[in-house]
Every structure is written in C-alpha cells, then in structure tokens.
Chain A
Amino acid sequence: MADLHFSDAEPTASERRAVLAALSVDEASDGAVVVSHPRVVRAGMQRRKQMRHQLLPALHALQREAGWISPGGLNFVGRTLGVPPAEAYGVATFYEMFRTEAPAHELSVRHVCVDPICALAGAASLAEHLRSQGHAVHEGPCLGQCERAPAVFIQGRREPDRVPADGSGPDSLLVSVTASAPETPSLLRHMIGRDHGHSESMSMEAYRERGGGAALDAALSLGTDEVISQVTAAGLSGRGGAAFPTGIKWRAVADGEGPKHVVANIDESEPGTFKDRLLCELEPLAIIESIAVAGLTVGAEHGWIYIRGEYPLATQRLRYAIAQAHSAGWLGDDAAGSGQPFDIELRRGAGAYICGEETALFNSLEGFRGEPRNKPPFPTTHGLFGRPTVVNNPETLLNVNEILRIGPEAYRSVGTEGSPGTKLFCLSGHVGRPGLYEAPFGITLGELLGLAGGVQGTLAAVLLGGAAGSFVGPDAGELQLSLEDTRAAGTTLGSGPVMVFNDTADMSAVVERLAKFFRDESCGQCVPCRVGTVRQHELVTQIRRTGRSTEPQRELLGDIADAMGDASICGLGHTAASAVLSAMQLGLLGDTAS
C-alpha cells in the first residue's frame, strides 16, 4: 500500500492519550507508536487489517474524550492503525454515536428513544423536559429498554456511558413457564428471583454453585461430533431472527480449515427487543461459557462479542466475566484444559441497527463500514476476516448449554415438533406487566398476553417480530407462536418482540415511525433499499396526512415492497416493507379510497 496522505491537523494531547489507552499501545520516547496489543489476529491478512480492527475502539475513545471525531484525532488514529483518512471518516460517519462536527457544548449526550413503545410512553415530552433542563439530547431509535419505556441512554463525555434506569428503578420483570421443572429447558431458571444488584452473585464461585461450568465440561467430554449431533437432534434453530438450524452451521464451520472464529451477536437493535441485554446483565458468565462451548466445539481459536454501544451495564458485566473466565482457566492457550487455545475479545458497536446483520457485523468489527456483504459466500466459509465463522445470537448459545445439560430428548419435551424448546418473548406496550417471558414455542398469543397481565384497554394490534416483522389484529389470540405457525399465518416471530397497542395508540403514527426507522437505518449501499425506504416513508407520511390511501398510492407501495424484497442485498431491505404492508391490510393506516 502506498504511503498515506494526511492533512496537517494534529491531535490534542488528551486525544492522543485517550486513543493510546484504548488501543493498549505504547508511545516510544520519539513519538513512535509501539503496538503491544496481546492479540494478533492471525488469519492470513495484511498488517493493515490486523491493526484496522481496532478502529471502532479508537473512535469511541476520541468521541468520549473530545465529544467528536476531530480531524486531528482522526489523523492520529489513521496513522496509528494504517487507515486512510477518507476511509476512517467514512466509518465514523456511519454510526449514530459518532459526531464529525465539533459540538457546541461540553456535555454528555442523552439519547432518548423515539420508537413506538417509548413514543407511547411519552418520549417526546421527556426529550423536551431534558432539553429544558439544559441537557444535550439526541433522539434516536430503540435503546433495547422497551420494558421500562421511555428509555434514556447517556453517552458520556469524559465519563463512562450509563443508563439512568440501571440500578435506580425496579428490576425488570422475568417470567419463565418452564423454570420450575428441572428436566425442561429454561434459560431464565437461575436468573429469576436473584438479587442482581449484589455483585457476589456475579462471581465464578456463585455461578458454579448454580451449576455453571457443566456445559463446558460436557462439551469437552462429548467432543465435537457428539455435541453437534445433540444440537442437531434437539432441533435448535437460531434465535436472532432468521431461525437457521444451529447444528448445520456448527458442522460446516467444524469441517472448515482454521483459523476460525466464533461471534456472539449482541447487537440487539430490533425495535421491541431487549432479551439479550437482560441475559448479559443477569448471567454474563453463562454467555461466556456458551461462547467457549461453541469455540471449542467447532475448533475456533478466536471468540468475539459484538455488543451494541448502548448497553453499558451488560458490557461491564461481560468484561468482568471474561476476566473471571481467564482466572478460572476457561480461556487462554489451553482453554478449559482442552489443549486448544481459545480467547474472547469484546467489541462495542456505535449505533447502527444494520450491524446486527451478520456480514455487516464482520465489516464493522474489522474496522470497515457496516455494509452487508453479498451472500454467498456464507459466513461458515468466508466470515470474519474471511475465515470460517460461527455467528450466533446469545439466546441460541444459551440453548446449547441447556441441551448439553438435559439432553436432546428432554429438550424436545417442550415446544412443538417443528420448533422445539422455549422462546424468549419481549413484551412491551399496553400490557399489564411488560417484561421478559420464557415460554415453550407454540404458546398462543392470547396465552402469552394473559401471562403478561393481559392487554390494557382494548387491543388494536400487536407487532410481532419488531420493525422487521408484521402486525396482527385483535383476532389473532389463537395464533400459535411457533416458527411454522407464524410462517403459515404470514407473519414472523423474529427475535421475539411482542409490541402491544391498544385503541388509544395513534397507529398511523406508529407505522410512519417504523417507515422512518428503515429510512434512517438503511446502510445505503444498494439502490432498492436506499431509495425504496425513502419513497416508502414519503408515501406513508402522505397517507397519514390525508387519513386515507388511494389506489395509486397502494400500488406504488406494493411495487416498492416487491423490489425491496426481491432485489435488495440483505434482510433489512427484504423486510423493510412488511410491517407497512401488514398495517395497510389491517386498516391501521386509515381508510382505503379508490
């Protein structure tokens, strides 16, 4: 690569220090930067890429220190990591949490969620109130705290990020239908009823007393083939939204050539979803254990956690858990006595829904713009750094722990034939008790709403699967919540959000906000989604304004939907019209005129 050209802008001393601290690099007396980062990624890449995967941590450090990514700071990061400034700028401008213009204040920034559940709960007036108190406010998408709406996240300026509701409010509600029977799978079993503010319950010792570590022991004694065959026999499918069979994914990566990677996808940004946050906050060592199980089973050396930037408590607890796992010998050159090296590194996202898409996640983690890659090739052969990669949602990984604990047959004792096991549902909106509910697949929507204290008021609609999902009407109480039944009904469970709206909700405002969400979150790479989401939002806005839709408008919406669904690169574009179309069919967007 040719020498890079930088402008004359220099970093401030504090920007330099912040970046060097974040990169765990040292500065020699002559100002040269000496990299002493313990983890070198050995995947046959050029040096540029070896360093470049630290771009996001470096940008986070600059943003926190200076309140923006200044030209001098960007130059310093680019020089240090070997990233051309135009590309580093392209990365910085991709994320909600990074600014590239100097802020007019020295304040931490309060991110206020304006997505549907928080909007119902008064997000707009909360934002107004915070502004009137002199706070810097940024209104943005779902913050993954829908059970305690309206949600706020504070992005710290020279102070750690934090969520005001953490520790101050009551604990989030957890309910599990299966927790009382030991021979059934239950992810929440040991999380329910514990004092989570109590740091001792987060220790390795306490975790072991709850039965922690058994999955790792079982995985090592069973070996790769047996673990994968149990996961396959249990019929486990991915819980991140796409429901891909986990056994097939693991087999393919186990059969691939090293070096290999395992990635826990904790980007959780689907509006209405907050389960992964709670799992990580309440049992972080189980997440670490499950990643180690995956890594040692498929023969990966590198484990990664990619967690959304707005989850400071979960991040802190996962970091603590990684440190404990090191001390316990689970991670390192001889991980858990397996004879194999395995380690886990944590990376924070910076505010971009699209980075939950697995290939966008790889690009983001590698220090490139979070633009999805075309598939094929698939991650199982060409994943992170171009190597075979298992990427799983943490709920999926915890299910593997349960399969290893009770065996595939007991695992299948709950759920349906086509969807064995349990599912975590995130209940929010107009229900009696919003919170996290674990229930066997196949529970009806009516039963689930009943568990959650029933609908408040008169039900208008339920949004299943989040922004990427679809609305069902008040008559859907009998709908069985399994993969096969929702598919047959033309809807989806997605990652498990269940957003409930009664007849006081302005449904056309909800739909317009969902359309805006896709317009804002499209990465912009491909034409059908980049322009289609804008045209869709414009049409929905217009229909809402007039209170009714005309035939040409409906035809245009259908044409846009078909093109986005058929010709987009990734799942964001493929699903960007589904909530809008279902709302139209249910009459949530006003009358239809000819």
Chain B
Amino acid sequence: MTRSGENPRPAAETALVTLSIDGREVTVPEGETILAACTAADVETPTICWAPNLTPVNVCRVCVVELEGSRTLVPACSRPAEAGMQISTDSERVRHSRRMVLEFLGSANDLSQASEIADWSRTYGADPARYEGSADGGGDLPLRPEPERVDEPVRIQDDLYIRAYDRCVLCYKCVEACGDDAQHTFAIAVAGRGFDARIRTEYDAELPDSACVYCGNCVAVCPTGALQFRTEFDLRAVGEWRPDDQAVTRTVCSYCGVGCNLELHVQDERIVKVTSPADHSVTSGHLCIKGRFGWQYVHAPAFEPPTTSVTEH
C-alpha cells in the first residue's frame, strides 16, 4: 500500500495548516497534500498513480475526496492542503467515484497481478462484470457489444524485463521514472490518444534499439505487473513465484562509491529481484543497470549487460 508517511520532516520554521478530515482537525506543514493530511488523520486513501518518490500526475483519480465548496471532487494526492478545508473521504460521492474508477480499470485491463488494486476493488465493491454483454440486453435482444479491453501482446525483447501492456492502467509512473523524476533517459512516453493511448518507445521500437539503459526503474514503480523482471515472469510462468517464501536482505551496492542501498529478494537461495527503498536518501528507490541487474554474476559466470542497447550517457 502506498502511504505518504515518508514525507520529509518539516523544518522547524515551516508554517502549519489546519484542516478538517471527516470532521477531525489535523495539522500538516504548508505545502503538504490532502493525502498527507488524510494519512496524518489515520484515514487510508487508495492511490494508483501516486508514489512518494515521483511527482504527482493525478491521473487515476482513485484518491478523489470531497472538498466543501468545490463543484467537483479533488485529487487528494496532488491538491495542497489549505487552512480551513473541510474534507470528506467517505461520502457517497467519493465512494461512487472510487468504485467507478476501479470498476473501469477492471473492465479494461488484466488486473490479476495488481494485488493492491484488487484489494481496493473489493473494499469499494467494484463490479467490472456490469459492463459485459448479454443479460440486461434482455430476452431476445442482441447481446451488448463486448466491452473494449486493452489488448496487447506480451513484449519480451531481452533477458531483463518484459512488458505486458494489457495490464497497463496508464498511471504514468514508468514514464516519470524514466524521465524527469529519476533516470532522465526519456526512452518511453505516452503515445496515441483516448482509450488507444499506450506507453511506447518511438514507433514502438524494440527496447534494445531504443534509448533504454536498463536501469529497471520503470519496473520498480509499476503497480500492475505490466512491467516485470524476467526472473519473476519466468517463475510465474511455471507457477514458482512465491513472494511469501522470499527473504529480503539489505546491502550496499558494490559497483561504485555512491552507496546505493539494495534489497535483495531471495527465493530458494537465488536472487529473484533487486529493489531499493523509496525513502532511501541516495536512491529514492531508483538504481542503475549494475545495481538492478548486476547480481546475475552471482549465479552466472559472466555478467553481460545487453550491450546492443546501452548507449553512453
């Protein structure tokens, strides 16, 4: 679950604002979001496109709350908290919009590996089956057209990670991680418009031919499994992906002197995934190809990054 608890501590002189969340007064530093105020008030807020280490894009709208005086609901994740705001997080309107966002996603995407979204969908009673054909067409009437879904083949173009965009909910996190928020490589962007919008390299070029430097930062932030490390993908394919059996060991990356914290996820004595804590002061959760994938030398005699695709930066 995403939480805003990691937000930096306010400096002593930072001004504070007091607002009301579901009738409870909370005080947060000026510049904090409504989401942070909800967290401070112990109110859980669903989020999909928000992450503590990325700039809010406020596109998924699952975090919306009711703000007194506002015609529409407002996104908690990006709207700054202001003194005197009266916020409701559990009104009928809020629950309806959250349910519909989750239902819409469920009706369009394969969410089988998006466990958080599935949890929220249960909480809000989302029923994606409502959009499927037949029954309400009634008796002898023709079936409703099949609801359009995001239909994409799995893209397997290298040994490091796969892209299964039928799971992609277009949260923009990978684009942000690849671009201004971390990697500054800009290998991927949103292309197309409306329901046909997709995450793409230019002209859908294969990853090794694109600007991608295989830092894996996009994979680390993806909330749906649309981007997945090859190790996880292969283990899942044979039914051997067992997160509950994985031990996580913290270490410091030995490739250079920067001092990135690594979390090695180990299953059956093999490293199956490398992450970095989002609140780590050096990495903010982001790594380079060596930290992210260099562990393969532990298991294989020669570690070779996919040199065909790595460009000098």
Cα–Cα distance between A553 and B135 once the two chains are bound (Å): 11
Asked whether B59 lies within 8 Å of A527 as measured between CB atoms, the reply is yes
Cα–Cα distance between A371 and B100 once the two chains are bound (Å): 22
User: B249-275 toward A: CB 8 Å interface, digit per residue (1/0)?
Assistant: 000000000000000000000000000
Nearest-neighbour CB distance to chain B for A354, whole angstroms, equals 8
Residue from the list B60, B186, B211 in contact with A526, Cβ < 8 A:
B60
Asked whether B100 lies within 8 Å of A93 as measured between CB atoms, the reply is no
Asked whether B313 lies within 8 Å of A522 as measured between CB atoms, the reply is no
Known: A1-B184, A85-B211, A528-B101. A535 touches B107 (CB 8 A): yes
B197 contacts A by Cβ under 8 Å: yes
Cα–Cα distance between A376 and B80 once the two chains are bound (Å): 9
Residue from the list B138, B147, B189 in contact with A89, Cβ < 8 A:
B189
User: B100-129 toward A: CB 8 Å interface, digit per residue (1/0)?
Assistant: 110011011000000000000000000000
User: A515-535 toward B: CB 8 Å interface, digit per residue (1/0)?
Assistant: 000011111111110111111
User: A1-23 toward B: CB 8 Å interface, digit per residue (1/0)?
Assistant: 11111010000000000000000
Known: A532-B104, A566-B93, A567-B97. A89 touches B131 (CB 8 A): no
**Contact count A vs B, C-beta below 8 Å:** 182
Secondary structure of the A contact surface, majority rule: helix
Known: A535-B107, A567-B72. A86 touches B197 (CB 8 A): no
Q: Which residues of B contact A88 (CB under 8 A)?
A: 202
User: B191-221 toward A: CB 8 Å interface, digit per residue (1/0)?
Assistant: 1111111001111010001110000000000
Asked whether A527 lies within 8 Å of B96 as measured between CB atoms, the reply is no
Asked whether A86 lies within 8 Å of B201 as measured between CB atoms, the reply is yes
Taking CB as reference atom, which chain A residue is nearest B311? A5
Pick the interface stretch among A404-412, A435-443, A557-565.
Answer: A557-565
Asked whether A522 lies within 8 Å of B104 as measured between CB atoms, the reply is no
User: B54-87 toward A: CB 8 Å interface, digit per residue (1/0)?
Assistant: 0000111110100000001101001100000000
Q: Which residues of B contact A526 (CB under 8 A)?
A: 59-61
B144 contacts A by Cβ under 8 Å: yes
Q: Which residues of A contact B28 (CB under 8 A)?
A: none
Residue from the list A1, A86, A521, A535 in contact with B194, Cβ < 8 A:
A521
Asked whether A538 lies within 8 Å of B145 as measured between CB atoms, the reply is yes
Pick the interface stretch among A179-187, A259-267, A502-510, A544-552.
Answer: A544-552
Interface centre among A7, A86, A559 (most CB of B within 10 A): A86
Cα–Cα distance between A87 and B184 once the two chains are bound (Å): 12
B235 contacts A by Cβ under 8 Å: no
Asked whether A563 lies within 8 Å of B101 as measured between CB atoms, the reply is yes
Asked whether A559 lies within 8 Å of B194 as measured between CB atoms, the reply is no
Taking CB as reference atom, which chain A residue is nearest B196? A524
Asked whether B72 lies within 8 Å of A574 as measured between CB atoms, the reply is yes
Measured as residues with beta carbon below 8 angstroms from the partner, the interface class of chain B is: 35 or more
Cα–Cα distance between A528 and B105 once the two chains are bound (Å): 9
Asked whether A374 lies within 8 Å of B100 as measured between CB atoms, the reply is no
Q: Which residues of A contact B185 (CB under 8 A)?
A: 2, 5
Q: Which residues of B contact A523 (CB under 8 A)?
A: 193-194, 197
Residue from the list B72, B191, B197, B210 in contact with A565, Cβ < 8 A:
B72
Q: Which residues of B contact A329 (CB under 8 A)?
A: none
A100 contacts B by Cβ under 8 Å: yes
Asked whether A86 lies within 8 Å of B211 as measured between CB atoms, the reply is yes
Asked whether A567 lies within 8 Å of B200 as measured between CB atoms, the reply is no
A542 contacts B by Cβ under 8 Å: yes
- Interface residues of chain A, those whose CB is within 8 Å of chain B, are 1-5, 7, 71, 74, 84-90, 93-94, 100, 352, 369, 374, 376, 519-528, 530-535, 538-539, 541-542, 545-546, 550, 552-553, 556, 559-560, 562-563, 565-569, 574, 593
What 3 A-B pairs are tightest by C-beta distance, nearest first? Answer: A84-B186, A5-B211, A563-B100
- Interface residues of chain B, those whose CB is within 8 Å of chain A, are 58-62, 64, 72-73, 75, 78-79, 93, 96-97, 100-101, 104-105, 107-108, 130-131, 135-138, 141-142, 144-145, 147-148, 169-170, 184-197, 200-203, 205, 209-211, 311-313
